[in-house]
Amino acid sequence: MNVVIIEDENLTAKRLESLLHKYDPDIAVLARIPSVAEAVVWFGESDQPIDLIFMDIHLEDDLGFRIFEQTQVTTPVIFTTAYDEYMIQAFKVNSIDYLLKPINYDELVAAIEKFKSLKKQFGQNTSSSHDIETLLSLIGKSKQTDYKDRFMITVGTKIRSVETSEVAYFYLEEKVVFLVTKDGLTLPVDYSLDKLTQLLNPRQFFRISRQFLVSLHAIQTIHTFSAGKLKLDLNPKSRQEVFVSGDRMTEFKEWLGK
């Protein structure tokens, strides 16, 4: 079986590929694609037969559904998403199935088996412009009011649930993003800061720099330096100094005043 993974989180894409090979070593992952733009180019140039696409809904440059508006691809899709289960029902209009992140192996197997059982019925015509428009409309409405309210984090062989309300801030260190809770627990998360900015309520979280995404309640003290430079004391205390980037200064002050 030939598959394509459309996912902008590199660790998630690699883990999905590993789980696919665990299920069937003969599965060929033809490409791991991080964006709508790159997917459009790849599908336009590739003539390889594709049996199944695994696609994240929110990619680094747009909604994944835009790919189908710009190409002739009608391959069946299994969506992968960070949204909670009550949101997922709105996304099932056009999919074979969905996988909630972090991807569970048993659920992956069930989704593939479902695909196999429906393959004769669906053929290669599982996408329609009407369904895509419906999905885009539902996504657009949901993004206005619904944000991620928990993180499922794999720690060793266990999966830990962390409520978003318990998160103080996120920071980037050596290409890995870490979550810090109110009580000082630090855990790695499988999201980029760019993706987290999309998933979290902008009234509660603000991207102050390339390294930090902070919650309002984590800001303990704001220090003003010459030329208006701002330094933040966070609670829990960060191991490194935390500054607001110059290009985010005005927006940050507006955010504080909301």
pLDDT score at 258: 62
Full-prediction pTM beyond 0.75?
no
**What structural domains and CATH numbers belong to the chain?**
2-145 (3.40.50.2300), 150-256 (2.40.50.1020)
Could you tell me if 84 and 150 are in contact, meaning their C-beta atoms sit under 8 angstroms apart? yes
| Token pair 């883990």 in the structure block, residue | 15
pLDDT score at 123: 52
pLDDT score at 135: 52
User: Between 248 and 234, where is the model more confident?
Assistant: 234
**Confidence at 128, pLDDT banded by 50, 70, 90:** very low
DSSP string, 133-146: HHHHHHHHHHHHH-
> Given a cut of 90, is residue 170 above it in pLDDT?
yes
Name the nearest CA neighbour of 170 among 149, 153, 187: 187
User: Between 69 and 202, where is the model more confident?
Assistant: 202
> Tell me: the pLDDT tens digits for 90-112?
455 446 787 888 888 999 999 99
Mean pLDDT (whole number) for 29-55: 93
Reported as type and span, the H/E element at residue 224 is strand 219-224
